[in-house]
């Protein structure tokens, strides 16, 4: 593997720290023991002597490119690398032709495709023939969920291996290696060092880049505390793409924390999304949805509060309006929970689709014309306000469908009272039906 990373001493010194510390063997890879450890999936694959095509899925800075390069060396495959951002059909044809020529000479090619999800469906399909005939072993890298971004045909021919974000222990080991490489300690107070690890956000490349910035900024004998560190490195923005997985993962976490009645976790995820630049009105709309889906009539005020918070943000803007959204978030998380209306609505929608265009009972239809009156429209309708308890007990469902029950409120919050009313009306309905 020496040919991959070799260079003169001067060249080595001028290379970025993250590049200089790139592992030279799979055993040196940190943060992915489930893949490269003694019992890891990749370790076992190499030991078997057979390497299949793979998709490496994980966040930036977790070693996907490095592991692909090392795989080629460990298995004596020729290594080619392309990026889907800068490559098109013509580039793929050249790579495939080169790989076929190598194969004729008895050597297989490991083709590493960075950002493979950037290729369109037709371009992804072009890999299938060369994967199937053994011309290439494909290793594609992506930060996006392969289930959504890659063709089913491609996924069926490749094993998806998940790379995990570095934990603090793994990032700390990278800093220790960096200190050994530079021959000097990182000039940070203990709490600032811990902050730097958190700033890296699980990205191994980032933690080394941040460390390099600290070394460049520090004067002789100087050591930074947390406040000084923030000023020196101008903290990286959190890894978050509003149109991709980070967006969906955090809004899912926020919704489930509210549903799970955990206001602290809900506030944390709300703050994460604010900090990452999420549109606050998007969050306001989602809070309104939560109020209906997960609280409903257990606390009808929840919908009022959520909608008021959305309007307050729309009126105040940022940052003042964000507090109203935080207030609504806490209110929803601490409100009694019920999905009774949500469940009832879905059941009613299914019934509407399954039963077609059934006519409502004629007695509850208006009869504005003589013809409609002669057809029996409105005949026998009982005006509820004129009945005892303001309740007639008529059947309002289509006759061919029969009576259904969709809404079953739980014994929680305001829905306790609703349930009592429904039970009372159910008794009256049966009594009056028996008298007819």
Express each pLDDT in 163-176 by its tens digit: 999 999 999 999 99
Q: 424: pLDDT confidence band, cut at 50, 70 and 90?
A: very high
Residue 13 is predicted with a pLDDT of 59
Average of per-residue pLDDT values in the chain: 89
Number of domains in the chain: 4
In the predicted structure, residue 3 carries a pLDDT above the cut 50 = no
- Measured in degrees and rounded to the nearest 5, phi and psi for residue 153 equal -65, -40
Q: Are residues 51 and 151 in the same domain?
A: yes
What is the domain-level CATH number for residue 210? Answer: 1.10.8
Q: Are residues 92 and 43 in the same domain?
A: yes
Residue 128 is predicted with a pLDDT of 94
Q: Which of 106, 133, 162 is the last residue of a domain?
A: 162
Sheet of 54-57: strand order equals 78-83, 109-114, 136-142, 54-57, 159-162
Integer Cα distance of 72 and 58 in angstroms:
20
Residue 15 is predicted with a pLDDT of 82
In the predicted structure, residue 269 carries a pLDDT above the cut 90 = yes
Question: What is the average pLDDT across 128-157?
Answer: 92
Domain membership flag for residue 5: no
Q: Are residues 211 and 99 in the same domain?
A: no
Q: Are residues 327 and 427 in the same domain?
A: no
Is it true that the peptide bond before 376 is cis, omega within 30 degrees of 0? Answer: no
Domain membership flag for residue 15: no
Count of alpha carbons within 13 angstroms of residue 403, beta-carbon side: 10
What is the domain-level CATH number for residue 388? Answer: 1.10.3710
Domain membership flag for residue 183: yes
Question: What is the average pLDDT across 382-402?
Answer: 91
Domain membership flag for residue 342: no
Percent of the chain's residues with pLDDT above 90: 65
Express each pLDDT in 86-141 by its tens digit: 988 889 999 999 999 999 988 999 999 999 999 999 999 999 999 999 899 999 99
Domain membership flag for residue 306: yes
Strands 109-114 and 136-142: parallel
Express each pLDDT in 349-364 by its tens digit: 999 888 888 889 988 8
pTM of the predicted structure, to 2 decimals: 0.63
Domain membership flag for residue 14: no
In the predicted structure, residue 1 carries a pLDDT above the cut 50 = no
Q: Are residues 99 and 208 in the same domain?
A: no
Q: Are residues 47 and 127 in the same domain?
A: yes
Domain membership flag for residue 17: no
In the predicted structure, residue 234 carries a pLDDT above the cut 90 = no
Q: Are residues 56 and 100 in the same domain?
A: yes
Q: Are residues 226 and 275 in the same domain?
A: no
Q: Which of 208, 233, 258 is the last residue of a domain?
A: 233
Q: Are residues 71 and 144 in the same domain?
A: yes
Residue 135 is predicted with a pLDDT of 92
Question: What is the average pLDDT across 295-319?
Answer: 94
Q: Are residues 315 and 380 in the same domain?
A: no
Question: What is the average pLDDT across 139-157?
Answer: 91
Domain membership flag for residue 7: no
Q: Residue 218 carries which DSSP code?
A: P
Q: Are residues 42 and 73 in the same domain?
A: yes
What is the domain-level CATH number for residue 250? Answer: 1.20.272.10
Question: What is the average pLDDT across 66-83?
Answer: 92
Question: What is the average pLDDT across 276-281?
Answer: 86
Range of the domain at 278: 245-334
Q: Residue 361 carries which DSSP code?
A: P
Q: 240: pLDDT confidence band, cut at 50, 70 and 90?
A: low
Q: Are residues 173 and 149 in the same domain?
A: no
In the predicted structure, residue 4 carries a pLDDT above the cut 70 = no
Q: Which of 198, 233, 268 is the last residue of a domain?
A: 233
In the predicted structure, residue 278 carries a pLDDT above the cut 90 = no
């Amino acid at each position: 593997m020496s040919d991959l990373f070799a260079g003169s001493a001067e060249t080595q010194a001028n290379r970025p720290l993250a590049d200089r510390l790139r592992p030279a063997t799979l055993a040196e890879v940190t943060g992915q023991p489930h893949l490269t450890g003694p019992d890891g999936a990749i370790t076992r694959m190499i030991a078997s002597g057979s390497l299949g095509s793979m998709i490496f899925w994980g966040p930036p800075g977790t070693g996907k490119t490095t592991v692909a390069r090392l795989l080629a060396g460990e298995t004596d495959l020729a290594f080619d690398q392309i990026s889907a951002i800068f490559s098109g059909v013509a580039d793929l044809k050249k790579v495939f032709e080169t790989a076929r020529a190598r194969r004729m000479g008895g050597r297989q090619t490991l083709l590493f495709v960075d950002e493979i999800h950037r290729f369109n469906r037709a371009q992804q399909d072009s890999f299938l023939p060369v994967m199937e005939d053994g011309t290439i072993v494909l290793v594609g890298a992506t930060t996006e969920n392969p289930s959504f971004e890659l063709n089913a045909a491609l996924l069926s021919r490749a094993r998806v291996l998940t790379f995990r974000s570095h934990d603090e222990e793994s990032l700390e080991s990278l800093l220790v290696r960096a200190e050994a490489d530079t021959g000097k300690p990182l000039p940070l107070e203990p709490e600032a060092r811990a902050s730097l690890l958190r700033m890296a956000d699980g990205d191994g490349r980032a933690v080394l880049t941040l460390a390099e910035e600290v070394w460049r900024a520090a004067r002789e004998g100087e050591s930074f505390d947390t406040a000084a560190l923030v000023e020196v490195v101008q903290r990286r923005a959190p890894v978050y793409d509003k149109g991709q997985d980070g967006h969906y993962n955090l809004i899912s976490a926020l919704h489930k924390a509210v549903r799970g009645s955990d206001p602290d976790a809900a506030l944390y995820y709300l703050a994460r999304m604010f900090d990452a630049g999420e549109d606050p009105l998007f969050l306001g709309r989602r809070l309104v949805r939560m109020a209906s889906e997960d609280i409903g009539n257990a606390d009808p005020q929840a919908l009022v509060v959520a909608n008021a918070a959305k309007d307050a943000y729309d009126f105040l803007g940022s940052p003042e309006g964000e507090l109203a959204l935080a207030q609504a978030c806490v209110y929803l998380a601490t409100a009694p929970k019920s999905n009774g209306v949500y469940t009832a609505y879905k059941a009613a929608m299914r019934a509407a689709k399954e039963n077609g265009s059934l006519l409502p009972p004629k007695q509850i239809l208006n009869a504005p014309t003589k013809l409609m009156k002669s057809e029996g429209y409105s005949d026998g309708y009982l005006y509820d306000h004129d009945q005892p308890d303001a309740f007639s007990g008529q059947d309002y469902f289509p006759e061919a469908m029969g009576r259904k029950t969709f809404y079953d409120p739980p014994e929680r919050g305001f829905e306790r009272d609703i349930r009592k009313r429904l039970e009372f009306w159910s008794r009256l309905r049966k009594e009056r039906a028996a008298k007819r």
